[in-house]
Amino acid sequence: MLIEEREEASALGGIPWTAVEGWLQLEEDREFLDEYELLDDDSAARLTGRYVAEFTDQFKLNRAYNDRGLGGPARPPDEAQLTNTATTFINNHTLAIRWTENQAFPYTPPTPPLSTEPVALPEADVASIPEAKREDLAEGRFNNLQYPALALTLGVTLLQPKGPNSKRYMLKSQDNKKEQCEQLRDIISRLTSRKKPTTPAGKKTTVDLCGNGPLNPPCTTVEAFDDKCVAIPQGYQNTLSGVKAHEATSICRFYLEPDCKGRYFEADGQVVDLSTARPDFNDKVASLVCDTPKPHPALKRWQWSSSSHYRYCTRLDKVSLDFQLANNAGSGTYDKIKLAIDDAGQKVHVITEGPSADYKVSQDFNLRDMFGMDTVALSQIKRIRLLDELTDRTFGGDAWELLGLKLRARCAGSGINIAMEKFSKLNKELQAHPTEPGRFQYNRDWEVWADDVKPQDWVAKPLCSHFQHMSVNLHVADANWAGTNNDIYAKVGEGSFLIARHPSRREVFTTDIEIDKAYKKKHVPVTNVASVGIESRGGHDAALPEMVTVYGLCSTTSTLLSVKQEITDWLYDGQTMTIKLPPENWVKA
């Protein structure tokens, strides 16, 4: 059920808001841009299937939900009672609809006789017709003359000759007028006789299924149309060990349960040997579905929100890890540390072996090795685990301290950089606790930490693409001789902006940055704001700033971002101090 507000829920067949158990607010979806597409059964099924598969954990519970008084299963209505009620209602409106009192149902209004009088054509004002509706009408997308006035107006306009006197010209010749009326009648006839366009079956993907991996007999093939669930054929259920999709652009999901439900893994045009790459799914696949992902196009301007992950970022083409140990005595380890992603990953990612205290690293994941594909669905990164492999029989299994970790990624198509930072400050002591004795505890992975990840945990870095306004704030330090007789300027882009004249100790100043002067445009990409310079001019003494804060106001909303930089160095006459502004450093102010 799609509703805009709570009040609308009460209007949908009398459904009270207390009967709605949960809800998910849907924003613009590029796969279903036009409202009329949602009225198509196949499109609605695809939309529902997508949200059930990817966003079931995002439905918000309705605290007002109350199942008391909702009654049991619905019973058929009393047709006699409905007929009496309807008859009473219509009897009160007999004149308006030409109804004869107590007339039997169903009521069919009489067809008025065809008029022999000439039809007065309406004035044609094409400028008032939106371009989108004109295109829809021309393509025949309006069924059964949903917009008769629009059709007639556009039809008349299309038949008129060009020029300011076109209507006068149209009436000059009786023969010409008759010909144009015939053309208009033909247009209307074609519009009214058009059938509702049917949704095509979609792209077909051929999938090889084999009983032995990687693709050894017995084998068969199935054909899967986009977003249509296909059951594994009889004879291959509980025996499937190898799969391959023939179309390189298709992505197929293989499920453990019938009707494409439950746990699944993804595969593209590469062969997947389930016995080695996906042992949890070996001989267990029950159904599959394939589709051709539509990459999100690169956006000119955007603002990240809690729902942006399914608007701009359903798949990732790059994933990275930032990992750091604490800087304490004994924070390192002799063991090998790895990271695994449940259900999505084929291989675990090896982070390091035998790291020392304060070890830190940034690493890119090999998506093909880890996920078996060049892209991975954001919703598939549901749970991450840290594994400890004991490699040293003398000192192995020692405790180590994790400061934190982050995941960074790039959205496929849109190119937006996002980050998952909920585990950046864990500060945990971790240690493997083998459950096997002696030599059996070595050279195998032991889980030492795990936690869940939701799509909402990812945020863009930065939170928007462009700034419409900027400002620079300067704090002068509370120290002897921190002030100066010089003037302090902010150098931004191609512009120079005065912050303060002869600032004194402990004073605070803010200056606005004219975007069009600094960057020669009204909206500047955040990635173009690489740095800000703080310059001292005047030929006098030095100054000691304490902190510089740069603010940026996002173009699409009123979201304010900032970067703060503490200063410990003196700023001397003629010197420029550079404040670097990498995109990932901008945070919500």
CATH number reported for the structural domain that contains residue 433 in this entry: 2.60.60.20
Is there a domain that residue 520 lies in? yes
What range defines the domain where residue 257 resides? 204-291
Judged by DSSP in three states, 221 sits in strand
Other Cβ atoms less than 10 A from the Cβ of 347: the count is 14
Return the percent helix, strand and coil in the chain, to nearest 5: 25, 30, 45
Whether 513 and 549 map to the same domain: the answer is yes
CA distance 569 to 182: 85
Is there a domain that residue 350 lies in? yes
Whether 429 and 492 map to the same domain: the answer is no
Rg (CA), the chain: 34
Report the pLDDT value the prediction gives residue 518, as an integer from 0 to 100: 96
**Residue where a domain terminates, one of 420, 436, 460:** 460
Residue 266's closest CA among 344, 202, 155, 204? 344
Q: Could you tell me if 508 and 549 are in contact, meaning their C-beta atoms sit under 8 angstroms apart?
A: no
- Write a three-state SS string for 274-321: HHHHCHHHCCCCCEEEEECCCCCCCCCCCECCCCHHHHHCCEEEEEEE
Report the pLDDT value the prediction gives residue 178, as an integer from 0 to 100: 60
Which own/partner pairs from 437-445 qualify as long-range (CB within 8 Å, at least 24 positions apart)?
441/390, 441/397, 442/390, 442/391, 442/393, 442/396, 443/389, 443/390, 443/391, 444/389, 444/390, 445/338, 445/340, 445/348, 445/387, 445/388, 445/389
What spatial distance separates the first Cα and last Cα of the chain, rounded to whole Å?
37
Cis ω on the peptide bond leading into residue 106 (within 30° of 0)? yes
Residue 499's closest CA among 558, 547, 561? 547
Whether 455 and 474 map to the same domain: the answer is no
Q: Could you tell me if 575 and 504 are in contact, meaning their C-beta atoms sit under 8 angstroms apart?
A: no
In terms of DSSP bridges, do strands 508-513 and 466-476 run parallel, antiparallel, or are they unpaired? Answer: antiparallel
Judged by DSSP in three states, 555 sits in coil
Q: Could you tell me if 463 and 497 are in contact, meaning their C-beta atoms sit under 8 angstroms apart?
A: no
Whether 471 and 383 map to the same domain: the answer is no
State the total domains in the chain: 4
Conformation bin of residue 502: beta by default, left when phi > 0, alpha when psi is -120 to 50: left
Report the pLDDT value the prediction gives residue 515, as an integer from 0 to 100: 95
CA distance 443 to 357: 23
**Residue where a domain terminates, one of 460, 481, 500:** 460
Is there a domain that residue 115 lies in? no
**Residue where a domain terminates, one of 391, 426, 460:** 460
CA 342 vs CA 95, 293, 338, 377, 578: distances in Å: 69, 22, 13, 13, 44
Residue 230's closest CA among 303, 140, 290? 290
Instruction: Encode the chain (589 residues) as per-residue pLDDT tens digits.
Output: 444 444 444 444 456 767 777 767 665 544 444 443 444 555 566 666 655 555 666 667 777 776 665 555 556 666 677 677 767 766 665 555 556 666 665 556 666 565 555 555 445 454 555 555 554 454 444 443 444 555 555 555 444 544 444 444 444 445 555 666 666 666 565 555 554 444 445 688 999 999 998 999 999 999 999 889 999 999 999 999 999 998 877 899 999 999 999 999 999 888 999 998 899 999 999 999 998 777 677 788 899 988 888 788 999 999 999 999 999 999 999 999 999 998 776 789 999 999 999 999 999 999 999 998 899 999 899 999 999 999 877 788 899 999 999 999 999 989 999 999 999 999 999 999 988 777 778 888 999 999 999 999 999 999 999 999 999 999 999 999 999 999 999 999 999 999 999 999 999 999 999 999 999 999 999 999 999 999 999 999 999 999 999 999 999 888 999 999 999 999 999 999 999 999 999 999 8
- Alpha helices, DSSP H, located in 194-290: 274-277
Whether 422 and 359 map to the same domain: the answer is yes
Whether 476 and 574 map to the same domain: the answer is yes
CA distance 266 to 344: 8
Is there a domain that residue 162 lies in? no
Is there a domain that residue 526 lies in? yes
Whether 404 and 318 map to the same domain: the answer is yes
CA distance 318 to 300: 21
Query: If you search the block for the tokens 């990240």, which residue do you land on?
Result: 304
Is there a domain that residue 161 lies in? no
CATH of the domain at 255: 2.60.20.10
CA 295 vs CA 101, 219, 311, 320, 368: distances in Å: 60, 32, 11, 20, 18
Q: Could you tell me if 313 and 377 are in contact, meaning their C-beta atoms sit under 8 angstroms apart?
A: no
Whether 445 and 472 map to the same domain: the answer is no
Whether 445 and 470 map to the same domain: the answer is no
Is there a domain that residue 398 lies in? yes
CA distance 333 to 359: 10
CA distance 578 to 143: 63
Is there a domain that residue 371 lies in? yes
CA distance 557 to 468: 10
Query: If you search the block for the tokens 């609809």, which residue do you land on?
Result: 97
Whether 387 and 527 map to the same domain: the answer is no
Whether 360 and 455 map to the same domain: the answer is yes
In terms of DSSP bridges, do strands 383-389 and 336-341 run parallel, antiparallel, or are they unpaired? Answer: antiparallel
Whether 385 and 525 map to the same domain: the answer is no
Burial of residue 355 (CB within 10 Å: 0-12, 13-18, 19+) is buried
Q: Could you tell me if 372 and 267 are in contact, meaning their C-beta atoms sit under 8 angstroms apart?
A: yes
CA distance 341 to 158: 60
